[in-house]
Structure 1
Amino acid sequence: MNILAVLTQTGMCPTHGEARRMVFQGAVKVDEELTKNPDLRLQDGIYEVSVGVRKNCILKICGGHLASFFPRKAGR
């Protein structure tokens, strides 16, 4: 699943354009690793994704689709 789709489907970014801008600005982390690749594809599994400091979630991708996600509060 594409990182831009993940960010919009979880509500962390309202549009693909906003998600792309956040990736290029270096505000997106996947499992504590900074990513600047808007074409990043996440395989099936469980990931911690954050945009900036305040938007964090744990998500599960199954069968190439977003199966579930759990928003987390900042600082946790």
Structure 2
Amino acid sequence: TRTYTRRRGAALAAVGHAAKVGAEPMRFVRELRTDPDPQVNAGDVLTVETFNDVERVDIVGLTKGKGFAGGKKRHH
């Protein structure tokens, strides 16, 4: 799976935001909570090496909640 792609898939608004911080526009952009004194700057691309000194990383996935599904919807 790809975590980001270059300008080709980026929306026009995302291109404008990237230009403000001097970064290359990406198709997928995610915001992360950091310490008050961050070690990364706006527009930096985060890789696995960024988290070398961190013991644990808490990751939450995005899913579509469908509530209680009947048998037909659930299995077909």
Decide: shared fold, TM above 0.5: no
State the TM-score bracket (shorter-chain normalisation).
Answer: under 0.3
Q: Over alpha carbons, which structure has the higher Rg?
A: 2
TM-score, length-normalised on structure 1?
0.22
Higher helix share: 2
